Structure 1
Amino acid sequence: MAFLSRASRFVLLFPLLVQPLAAQQSARSTPRRPAPAAAQPAPAAPVAIDRTAWLYKGSDITPDPAWQFGTLPNGLRFAVRRNGVPPGQVAIRVRIDAGSLMEEDAERGFAHFIEHLTFRGSRYVPDGEAKRVWQRMGTTFGSDTNASTTPTQTVYKLDLPGATSGSVDESLKILSGMVSAPAITSQTVNAERPVVLAEGRELPGPQVRLSDAMRGTFFAGQRLASRSPIGTPETLAAATAQGVSAFHDRWYRPERTVVIVSGDMDPEQAAQMIARNFAGWQGKGAKPAEPDFGKPDPKQPVSAALVEPGLPTLVAMSVLRPWTFNADTVIFNQKRLVDTLATRLISRRLEQRARAGASYLQASVSLDDVSRSANVTSVSIVPVGDTWEAALKDVRAVIADAMATPATQAEVDREYADYDTAMRTSVETARVEAGAKLADDMTEALDIRETTTSPQASYAVLKDAREKGMFTPETLLASTRRIFVGDATRALVNVHTPDPSAAAKLATALKADVSGLAGKRRAQAAVSIDRLPKLGRPATVTAREKVAELDMEQVTFSNGVRLLLYPNASESGRVYVRVRFGHGQVSLPADRTSPGWAGDLALVQSGIGKLNQGDLDQLTAGRRLGLDFDLGDDAYSLGAITSPADYPDELRLIAAKLAVPGWDPAPVGRAKAVALAGYSGFDASPDGVISRDLDGLLRAGDPRWATPDRDAIAALTPSAFRRFWAPRLAEGPVEVSVFGDVKADEAIAAVGRTLGALKPRDATGPATAPIRFPAHVDRPVVRFHSGQPTQAAAVIAWPTGGGVEGVAESRRLDVLAQVFSDRLFERLRNEAGASYTPSVQSQWPMGLPTGGKLVAMGQITPDKVDYFFRLSREIAADLVARPVSDDELRRVLAPMGQAFLRASTGNLFWLRQLGGATRDPRLYDAARSFPRDLIAITPAVLQDTARKYLRPEADWTMAVLPRADGGQASGAAGGSTPQR
């Protein structure tokens, strides 16, 4: 791989961070590991492994030869493979075939509770030590080390960077102890109970209530209706060590367990490690009978209504059929592909109507097997305003039309082309698919009782179906008719004000005659790339120079456009294209609300020249072309991940967007409606208030970063949108980045005839207002939410700095923030059980001279707000008063160093690091200096950094509290707020 030479150079700069892990393990294993409570039985002789490929039993799918399989004598199964993406990493998954659907009524939440308890302590690791053990191996808790519980499974996840045989073996040993013998005692249950309750309390209330209502309505009469993995406060409060242990012993058994290893190691070695660490595990008691998840019950109510002002008005409809196990065969998958194209075709028609100004903002159709409980055709609708009855009728009309009359072959071919492109892309990029992704794919396949295979084999299944003539108007018509028939049809409507008749109205709307409402189908003419507006004369190259140590080139064109080029095949089949232009968010008006907020929602959708978004969809059909817009601090950008064949046209697409933008008014109206539909959600929870207000408040109310109020959104017109954005698309310097599987001379020529054909631009930026941090407050700024009375949030922040010249300082602040975060996590979550997700982050804008900040926040109960501030200030004061220990610093630096090494093997990392580097070469040095900067951080350096920034007279605080009257909170955002 082209990156390996550079990555290996950086490794040499990490002697203190990436030392041999075997030495680290031996240093910590003896003093930190207690004698096991009950010794894990070790096999007396080599384990006899059944090497049958158990995944493919009953299937004629071509097995993926990279996966090797085995079954141990105790029934535990494994799947292992070699994968070197990223280099040195090994992904481990331990899947237990047990989730919330296995719980009895009094056990609701126990599957998830056990997931928590396994990380507290287990056979080989004392209480609270698992996180530290893996941190010393270079993992980041919460991303590299994690777990999840669903209705049908519990999965323990570990992505081990810089893996050695010793660290993998040690990790498998720890995981074996976690699943076979977690420390489920009265002490641990009582200690973790507040944390689990805090997790449930901090979930976004409106979304949880909607999810609960949908499950209760759609799966009425089945277990899934009342089996949220989080459980209930009542069952969690009543949980005992004996009860939780009983659930564990019943369902955590080797024959219900699969260990998956995918990474940069010998598969046979991994198999032997699994056998050595898991073969001695024996289940307790008799095997449990599989619970009956039930079938859709047609006798249950058809409709229900929810009153949730914190969510947009919406309608969700499902057609349910019993879930049955199907052998994962070629023909089964090919029939599913026909069904998939049928749903995609309907969703496209619905989207076309929404763009044209329908009664709904968004609508889509999907087909899924849900938690082994039902096969479900789902329809989701977000109406314009509160007109949900009209929106439901209009969507039903489109579906009815699709069931009555076949599509054209051109429509079918359009959906096939996009699907073919997606699968072909998987084949072309298979060599660079991450090992963690492959492990997750295997886990998902096991959960849905299907197989997984290579992208090449999957693509062959699709092409074979095409050759068989399976994708025709007639086959999609038959599929559409089939997937909209079931044993039960259910629907749920969410409204903003109580209406006792809403459920009855919904039931009536489901039966209403919709004939004639579909209107005439829109026939989309073929559109070629040549329909894009013509560009000017290609530019010539005026300068071409190598970028030292980074294997890149910087190219300057005669019209002033600059190119940063990185031709490499490390990610075969992928090309990253990004075009930075203009001056970004800092250049927006600082004295008033502007339409900057609408750029992401409407700018791309507004078309190019005379081509609207429908035309552009047709132009990009079957190709890897797109337009992703981003409003950055110091620049705007357009870009996409494309292919070696398509990137020249991607450059042409972006150049045409900048040169001759379209100004279709419909996307502006839709953007306004979308923004207003979601606005009430800001008030519904502490998270919502923070997402609306914090960015503006931390910049002293600056409207460039503040969320606009409802009136400002409603007042936006298409003409005002155009007046604002048209000059911004045409101003400021243009920087093009092309990273990936390209040839240098060809890429330079492609940029020259596209972005190089733009008119020269003035690179001088406008005068911009400074960014100010809010003044210190003696009492927290208070905002209110209208959600649950048990929910609150607290924020404390300190100003820092900005600019590339302070990059070393920014990295010291990153380390300081992580140390702070770990301490806050330990004390606020693990010791006090007051918050599930406290965090501390440092934000340092590289492209701006000011605006940086270090921010700590946590969701808590209202009575813990003062405690959060007191604890945060105690931690800050301690970081100022005394240096951290060597071990604490190592547990932060090692994961950060490993994260850098992994990320630096991918193009996207360098693309993000080097945005703007052609104008500011200091960014090249900043990208190269990361290892040196990290290694230079010592306890004394970190203490000096804390002294400089964590000053009590500079901090700013905010609390989000429930309204005493439970009513709607103020919708104001970004202005000054009275202190409480």
Structure 2
Amino acid sequence: MNLNRSLSVAALALLIAAGSANAQVKRKPAPSPKSKPTSAAAALRPATLLPVDDNVLIGKLPNGLTYYIRHNEQPQNRAELYLVNKAGSVLETDAQQGLAHFVEHMAFNGTRDFPKNALVDYLQKSGVKFGADLNASTSFDETVYQLPLPTDSAAVFEKGFNILANWAGYVTFDQAEIDKERGVVLEEARVRGKNAQERLSLQTLPVLLNNSRYASRLPIGKEEILKNFDATTIKSFYADWYRPNLQAVIAVGDFDVKRVEALIKANFSGLKNPVAPKPRTEYTVAPTPGTVVKIATDKEFPYTLAQIVVKHPQTVVKTTTGYMQSVRTSLFNFMLNQRLGELLQKPEPPFLYARTSYGPLLGKQDAFSSVVVSKPGGLENAVKSIVAETERARKFGFTLTELERAKQSALVGIQNAFYEKNKTNSANYVREYQLNFLNGEAIPGIDFEYNFYVSNISKVTLAEMDQLAGKFISDQNRVIIVEGPEKDKDKLPDEKTILNWIGTAGNNINAYVDNVTSKPLMDKAPEGSKVVSETQDEAIGTTTLTLGNGVKVILKPTEFKNDQILINGYSFGGSSLASDDDYTSASFGASIVGSSGISEFNQGQLDKMLAGKNVDVSPYISDITHGIRASASPRDFETALQLIYLYFTKPRKDADIWQGTINQTKALLANRGLDPGSVYQDTLSAVLSNNNFRGGATTVERLTGATLDKSYNFYKDRFADASGFTFVLVGAFNPVLIKPLLETYLGALPSTNKKETFKNLKMYPAPGQNTKTVYKGIDDKATVQMIYSGAYVFNEANNIQMDALEEVLNIKLVERLREQESGIYAPGIRANYSKNPEGRYTVTIAFTCAAANIDKLIAATLDEINKIKQTGAQPADIQKFVAEEARSTQVQLKQNVAWLGYLAGASQNGQDPDEILSHVKNLDQVTVQSTKETAIKYLNNNNLAKVILMPEKK
């Protein structure tokens, strides 16, 4: 189960946040092929309520349960069923803290119609994978259950509504099952917490949330309550809050809407509300006058960061006026973050990461949030830099060219959603309806939204945008949080100092200058070369072209998406061809070139040139391959090919990008040793690579010896000869129509016929038994990885057996380590196998647990493995694997990204790509005997490495 613990802006922003602080004010709609366009004039009537997409049937039962039903055929023969409860941790009494989440667990451990684990067992046999598909999450204000089901089995699909109804009102809460699940929930808390971020959150959340109910009701709850509560206490929470007038059923998928409505009525009409229902209090976070500052440190925290959070009352988009404001807000967020991105392109970037955003926070609040992660010793510069950019926007506003680019980018996004409106995944609709139920956010549908954007975005003015900065930025109801390593506590600013930094950051700033170019990406098209051979594979619908320069192109046109073409071009070699001395320089080659722009254009100029295009092209260099990954809409396909051509022929060398990257990497390494996970990962990497330095994190010493010239020259050498390249294209195109473009651009790539391939550096675990223990961390949190490895013959038959072994191990270890021992939250089982650079396999078993339980759980794991070796897998477990694998294969065969990976992999491995068509039929090769033989062959305890992370010795 997925406990939603994204609590503070700090938690969202941390570890270089991957853009997670980018809260979307208006989520893009799930498209509909039938909704009727709405005129711009109607859209702009003052405060007009937004329409409801007429492709969704919304109803309410007499008992108050709400339902949303929509027919959608992506993916085919599948449906998403959700139960949404307006019941989260904020409703818990003092004695119930953690029980909203515990209820979620118990829903999978016994209901009226599914005693104990019968529900999970039934669904696994139907092809639904526990954890990956079947799941649930608990947050402050809601608990959500998700149940993706096949619709081509009427019995399984209809049973799904019975399952939702059992969750909604018929969980049994057997005391023995509660006692078994305590350990699982506590282990989930250990996996997701017991770390620096949790300890910092406990210090900062009371400040951020103004000591509100939210600050004292974290979803995970309190350990002493989880260990000791009785069935009566949890039943009380369930009886009070799991009631139909606080619940919604969402069903989206390939089914008959009226039949689904009848199923909902049949299964949910019998649910009853309490005779005297408790009022469902809407908790809020009270505003605070002025600014509150909080400084927090932790021994294991490897970064120094600052957050500035200006809180505002929540705005829910329900009207055209509100929608228009959400459009302006999105444009504002885009433009301000584009400016911050430009600062990272400097040779001495002022921060490691920075992000600003206006969007939802928590407790009926929105917030303008600025988050910046500094280099060691560079907090002042980082804070002043991010504040200066917000002040620059407030004082001088934005430029017309910035606004036009932001509008173009927004239009690209809405156009893509509109063009894919009949190919949108059902899960996208579910998210929309969930927000509508929980907070009333409008669901007008993609046709309305597209027409609204096209008709009205041009009316957004600079004056309107400039007003937003003044509205968002304030010193009232503001929280400033500084977090850093405990060892640097004396170096962190006090409240007066941080306020002074922020107060003076806008002094002496000038208006932003937008550096744009009007030059085209290319002055003229290259000469190119013609197709010299062409073959068809009618079985899987591919065409293979060979161009005059030796470049091979595999084309698979599909109808899975209307507005997507995916490209993967590769050649053998990669960083394996770099000498040890040059490896560090070489390892940066693709990222440096990919961040330096192209031809005569720096990265900032290139980004601005591409702002109105749906295209993304990135070179890469991996261990044994190098190449290009790209995606584009059909209308921007030629631009993608131009960029590919230029990354081969005119890569750009930018000394500022190089210096900035080296400086940033050194800064990230400075406190890496504080983080237990990083220290553990270094040891794990050493074991997995047989102590080859290429497998681990780089060092400051190696960075110091790296040079831009070596990096750039290695990149150029890798892309100097395209004759060994194979490009795979999958998506919305006609092979005949795009052939001239392929001849022009891919056919013009340089060709020297070097005929290079990779070097085998033997980077795999050494044979024999090997145990490494790392002692790092102050909390009782241990991590175990058990790694079996050895030689492997790569073929379809062996691969199926390995996949089966992986899933059988997963099933048995969930049953033993989680359900029986209550010692872990979830095991991680992964069987990897490869043909290149040589046939090798690894089977990795990973789990997190209490330090005292390591030996017991390792012994239990080995015991389960031994049982499979002795008697093979149980037939029921094989049935579960076959069902899950067949279902997932059917879905993947309708996905562009899956075909791209499969065709590229088949090409690299010399496989017959037609094998995929018999994959499901070949699953009958998995038998009790075959699983026994596979376990004996590959799970050899004499060839087992164990890498263990233990808390520091007291």
1:208 to 189, 198, 206: 198
Question: 1:407 corresponds to which letter in structure 2?
Answer: F
1:444 to 435, 445, 459: 435
- Which deviations, in whole Å up to 9, do the C-alpha atoms of 1:689-742 show, x marking residues without a partner? 454443442231233332223432454333343243332233562222221111
Q: CA separation in 1, counterparts of 2:672 and 2:814? A: 26
2:209 to 209, 212, 219: 219
Of 499-508 and 451-460, deviating more is 499-508
The aligned counterpart of 1:840 is: 829
Helix, strand or coil for the counterpart of 1:915?
helix
- The answer for unaligned runs of 5 or more in structure 1 is 1-55, 966-980
1:603 to 574, 581, 593: 593
The aligned counterpart of 1:312 is: 303
Contact 1:800 1:852 in 2 (8 A): yes
Question: 2:796 corresponds to which letter in structure 1?
Answer: V
Correspondence list, 1:252-651, <5 A? 252-298=242-288, 302-308=292-298, 309-323=300-314, 326=316, 328-356=318-346, 357-466=348-457, 469=459, 471-485=460-474, 487-496=476-485, 497-499=487-489, 502-505=493-496, 507-509=498-500, 511-528=502-519, 530-532=520-522, 536-589=526-579, 594-599=584-589, 601-651=591-641
Helix, strand or coil for the counterpart of 1:432?
coil
1:846 deviation in Å?
4.2
1:940 deviation in Å?
1.1
Helix, strand or coil for the counterpart of 2:701?
helix
Q: CA separation in 2, counterparts of 1:327 and 1:86? A: 29
Q: CA separation in 1, counterparts of 2:693 and 2:922? A: 35
1:134 deviation in Å?
0.6
The aligned counterpart of 1:124 is: 113
The aligned counterpart of 1:850 is: 839
Q: CA separation in 2, counterparts of 1:261 and 1:184? A: 27
The aligned counterpart of 1:798 is: 788
1:520 deviation in Å?
4.9
Contact 2:767 2:790 in 1 (8 A): no
- Which deviations, in whole Å up to 9, do the C-alpha atoms of 1:741-766 show, x marking residues without a partner? 11212222112111211111435234
Q: CA separation in 2, counterparts of 1:667 and 1:835? A: 44
| 1:59–1:169 Cα change, 3 Å | farther
Q: CA separation in 2, counterparts of 1:758 and 1:658? A: 7
Residue 187 (1) aligns with residue 162 (2): no
Residue 197 (1) aligns with residue 186 (2): yes
| 1:106–1:59 Cα change, 3 Å | farther
Question: 1:226 corresponds to which letter in structure 2?
Answer: S
| 1:86–1:96 Cα change, 3 Å | same
1:948 deviation in Å?
1.1
2:655 to 665, 688, 700: 665
Q: CA separation in 1, counterparts of 2:872 and 2:322? A: 62
Contact 1:147 1:155 in 2 (8 A): yes
Q: CA separation in 2, counterparts of 1:531 and 1:402? A: 30
Question: 1:863 corresponds to which letter in structure 2?
Answer: A
Contact 1:69 1:79 in 2 (8 A): yes
- Which deviations, in whole Å up to 9, do the C-alpha atoms of 1:628-671 show, x marking residues without a partner? 34444532232232111101110111110121111112333333
1:673 deviation in Å?
4.1
| 1:802–1:654 Cα change, 3 Å | farther
Question: 2:565 corresponds to which letter in structure 1?
Answer: V
Helix, strand or coil for the counterpart of 1:190?
helix
Contact 1:343 1:480 in 2 (8 A): no
The aligned counterpart of 2:19 is: none
The aligned counterpart of 1:11 is: none
Helix, strand or coil for the counterpart of 1:142?
coil
Q: CA separation in 1, counterparts of 2:581 and 2:818? A: 41
Q: CA separation in 2, counterparts of 1:660 and 1:770? A: 31
1:911 deviation in Å?
0.5
1:210 deviation in Å?
4.0
1:782 deviation in Å?
1.4
Correspondence list, 1:5-44, <5 A? none
Question: 2:323 corresponds to which letter in structure 1?
Answer: N
| 1:455–1:628 Cα change, 3 Å | farther
The aligned counterpart of 1:44 is: none
Residue 902 (1) aligns with residue 891 (2): yes
The aligned counterpart of 2:931 is: 942
Q: CA separation in 1, counterparts of 2:688 and 2:765? A: 6
The aligned counterpart of 1:891 is: 880
1:808 deviation in Å?
2.0
1:711 to 698, 701, 705: 701
1:292 deviation in Å?
4.6
Q: CA separation in 2, counterparts of 1:503 and 1:353? A: 26
Contact 1:344 1:365 in 2 (8 A): no
Residue 702 (1) aligns with residue 689 (2): no
| 1:517–1:225 Cα change, 3 Å | farther
Of 443-452 and 246-255, deviating more is 443-452
Residue 88 (1) aligns with residue 77 (2): yes
- The answer for unaligned runs of 5 or more in structure 2 is 1-42
Helix, strand or coil for the counterpart of 1:775?
coil
Residue 232 (1) aligns with residue 222 (2): yes
Q: CA separation in 1, counterparts of 2:610 and 2:360? A: 31
Contact 1:310 1:683 in 2 (8 A): no
Q: CA separation in 2, counterparts of 1:914 and 1:693? A: 34
2:941 to 945, 948, 952: 952
Question: 2:411 corresponds to which letter in structure 1?
Answer: D
Contact 1:591 1:703 in 2 (8 A): no
Correspondence list, 1:119-158, <5 A? 119-158=108-147
For these two proteins, the number of residue pairs brought into alignment is: 903
Question: 2:766 corresponds to which letter in structure 1?
Answer: A
1:219 deviation in Å?
1.2
Question: 1:924 corresponds to which letter in structure 2?
Answer: P
| 1:690–1:540 Cα change, 3 Å | farther
1:783 to 770, 774, 787: 774
Contact 1:162 1:898 in 2 (8 A): no
Q: CA separation in 2, counterparts of 1:137 and 1:419? A: 41
Q: CA separation in 2, counterparts of 1:876 and 1:811? A: 18
- Which deviations, in whole Å up to 9, do the C-alpha atoms of 1:33-59 show, x marking residues without a partner? xxxxxxxxxxxxxxxxxxxxxxx9x97
Q: CA separation in 2, counterparts of 1:754 and 1:214? A: 54
| 1:466–1:572 Cα change, 3 Å | same
Helix, strand or coil for the counterpart of 1:645?
helix
Of 187-196 and 669-678, deviating more is 669-678
The aligned counterpart of 1:962 is: 951
Q: CA separation in 1, counterparts of 2:436 and 2:266? A: 26
Q: CA separation in 2, counterparts of 1:525 and 1:817? A: 53
The aligned counterpart of 2:913 is: 924
Q: CA separation in 2, counterparts of 1:825 and 1:150? A: 24
Contact 1:532 1:653 in 2 (8 A): no
Question: RMSD value over aligned CA atoms?
Answer: 2.5
Question: 2:858 corresponds to which letter in structure 1?
Answer: F
Q: CA separation in 1, counterparts of 2:90 and 2:182? A: 21
Q: CA separation in 2, counterparts of 1:442 and 1:602? A: 42
Q: CA separation in 2, counterparts of 1:446 and 1:691? A: 42
Helix, strand or coil for the counterpart of 2:616?
coil
| 1:813–1:695 Cα change, 3 Å | farther
| 1:228–1:532 Cα change, 3 Å | farther
Question: 1:735 corresponds to which letter in structure 2?
Answer: T
The aligned counterpart of 2:34 is: none
Contact 1:595 1:721 in 2 (8 A): yes
The aligned counterpart of 2:63 is: 74
The aligned counterpart of 2:99 is: 110
